[in-house]
A and B are shown apart, each in its own frame.
Chain A
Amino acid sequence: MNNSISFALEVYFLAAVVGISIAALMKGLIAGIQRITAKKEAITGHAASEEGKEA
């Protein structure tokens, strides 16, 4: 009984670590993609305004 309780707690702890890591991965991934998209938009926006000036 004691063994199975400690085993179940170990499983829960491991699941919590993996779950929180996956949540952190989601957060980081979305933040990263959005930062890249914002930079890309800034660059393309800048290029478009330069082209506008030249025209």
Chain B
Amino acid sequence: MDFVTLFQGFGTFTAMEPEVIVARIVLIVLGIALVWLGKRGTLEPLIMIPMGFGMAAVNAGVLFFTDPTIVGSDIGTLFVAPLVTETSALMNILQIDFLQPIYTFTFGNNLIACLVFMGIGIIADVGNVLRFPFTSMLIALCAELGTIVTFPIATAMGLDYGEAAAAAIVGGADGPMVLFTALMLAPELFVPITIIAYLYLSLTYGGYPFLIRAMVPKKYRGIVVKTSKKTEITSGEKVAFDIIGCTVLCLLFPVAAPLFMSFFMANAIKESGLKKYAQMIEDVFLYAATFFLGLMLGVLCEATTIMNPKVLILLILGLIALTVSAVGGIIGGYLVYLISGKKFNPTVGIAGISCVPTTAKIAQHEVAYVNKRVMILQFAMGANICGVITSAIITGIYVSVIPLL
């Protein structure tokens, strides 16, 4: 038996185009790097460690198929075949590729995005939004600037409306929303868009503090925000908002109704004190969905998928979207600062980006660095949760309108 047949991971290199070989090697190295950066905490480990393993393994574990008619190719892997749609081929693949059932039954129908959204709903506190609704909403709307500005840039760079919208939604910095929009409007670009989104979202930890320091001078970062409103929002009021808000948004955007229901139902479960359900959603659904999301994104990073020429465009657009959104959020912070008679800390603006609770934590960390007495977390969390709602609204509009154009 020769080397090529015995060690097929190496052997398949001999049967591939040179550029695919290079891409495979780069992705294997990148997978290893992601695991290392996740372990060090430079990137979000919950996503990056399974993603890195998936990426390295899927590009290393390529083999020759003895019966190419089953999987449609003579070279492939035993992980997942995302592009198979024909029923009989899918039935065959479901029995061969070990992650195919997860992909077909949780990614194909957006269940994974809904599970992650349930997890966000369970950790979110809508009390801060209900206490300062207009402030939170104004900041969140400003922090959607990236999702709006990126859209025409994307079309100018050659993407169609569906692809442009999916790329622009990265500006909302909401992983499940990117997943949902990409699967609905640009399924062929879902893999690169989602990977780029999660990669950039992991980097917000590192990048946004610098942007805050550049745009908000120390004297503004040190502003102590006083609130005259002492009223506590009761759990009954939160549940009332959850069910009414959910119903209204579902009436407005039925296409995004699964996402709205997942978020608001999970929040109502927490506020109603259903501890067993809350524990199940937080400990099982959220972590299982995050794990499989990371793993699936990794194994979908096959060399042939990533070599799409649109990937470079998406990398640029993702960066533009997240940067412009952050700038917009801080501008929103300054707007509230002016409206409130210069009594508001503009740093809160960054939290309008709905990366719950990362951006709120970044805002609090940056103000505490200047003045330890400044406590803006309640405003930041309010803007953060409103960011989730505005991202969902814009997703709902894009997903409802674009297929009709």
Q: Quick check: B240 and A19 within 8 Å, CB to CB?
A: no
Name the interface residues of B236-262: CB closer than 8 Å to any CB of A.
236-237, 240-241, 244-245, 248-249, 252
Q: Quick check: B155 and A12 within 8 Å, CB to CB?
A: no
Whether, in the assembled complex, A42 has its beta carbon less than 8 Å from a beta carbon of chain B, the answer is: no
Give the Cβ gap from A35 to chain B, nearest Cβ, in Å.
12
Residues of B within 8 A of A (CB): 129-130, 133-134, 136-137, 140-141, 144, 148-149, 151-152, 155-156, 161, 164, 168, 231, 233, 236-237, 240-241, 244-245, 248-249, 252, 386, 389-390, 393-394, 397-398, 401
Give the number of residues in A that approach B within 8 Å (Cβ atoms): 24
With known contacts A4-B161, A18-B252, A29-B244, A11–B136 Cβ distance under 8 A:
no
A19 to B133, CA, bound (A): 10
Give the Cβ gap from B403 to chain A, nearest Cβ, in Å.
14
Q: Which residue of B lies closest to A16 (CB)?
A: B141
Contacts of A20 in B (CB 8 A): 134, 137, 141
Among A11, A26, A30, residue most surrounded by chain B Cβ atoms (within 10 Å): A26
Whether, in the assembled complex, A55 has its beta carbon less than 8 Å from a beta carbon of chain B, the answer is: no
Closest 8 CB pairs of A and B: A23-B137, A23-B133, A26-B133, A4-B155, A4-B152, A8-B151, A5-B152, A12-B148
Residues of A within 8 A of B (CB): 1, 4-5, 7-9, 11-12, 14-16, 18-20, 22-27, 29-30, 33-34
Q: Which residue of A lies closest to B151 (CB)?
A: A8
Contacts of A29 in B (CB 8 A): 130, 237, 240-241, 244
Q: Quick check: A27 and B237 within 8 Å, CB to CB?
A: no
Q: Which residue of B lies closest to A12 (CB)?
A: B148
26 A-B residue pairs with CB within 8 Å: A1-B152, A4-B151, A4-B152, A4-B155, A9-B148, A11-B394, A11-B401, A12-B148, A15-B144, A19-B141, A19-B389, A19-B393, A22-B389, A23-B134, A24-B133, A25-B244, A25-B245, A25-B248, A26-B129, A26-B241, A29-B130, A29-B240, A29-B244, A30-B130, A33-B236, A34-B237
Residue in B129, B134, B164, B237 whose CB lies within 8 Å of A33: B237
A16 to B386, CA, bound (A): 12
Give the Cβ gap from A7 to chain B, nearest Cβ, in Å.
7
A5 to B155, CA, bound (A): 9
Contacts of B386 in A (CB 8 A): 19, 23
Q: Quick check: B398 and A4 within 8 Å, CB to CB?
A: no
Q: Quick check: A18 and B237 within 8 Å, CB to CB?
A: no
Contacts of A11 in B (CB 8 A): 148, 151, 394, 397-398, 401
Among B134, B136, B140, B168, residue most surrounded by chain A Cβ atoms (within 10 Å): B134
Contacts of A19 in B (CB 8 A): 137, 140-141, 386, 389-390, 393
Residue in B144, B231, B233, B249 whose CB lies within 8 Å of A22: B249
Q: Which residue of A lies closest to B168 (CB)?
A: A8
Among A7, A16, A33, residue most surrounded by chain B Cβ atoms (within 10 Å): A7
Q: Quick check: A8 and B390 within 8 Å, CB to CB?
A: no
A27 to B130, CA, bound (A): 7
Q: Quick check: B245 and A22 within 8 Å, CB to CB?
A: yes
With known contacts A1-B152, A5-B152, A33-B237, A26–B130 Cβ distance under 8 A:
yes
A27 to B131, CA, bound (A): 8
Give the Cβ gap from B345 to chain A, nearest Cβ, in Å.
20
Give the Cβ gap from B117 to chain A, nearest Cβ, in Å.
17
Give the Cβ gap from A1 to chain B, nearest Cβ, in Å.
5
Give the Cβ gap from B386 to chain A, nearest Cβ, in Å.
8
A26 to B130, CA, bound (A): 6
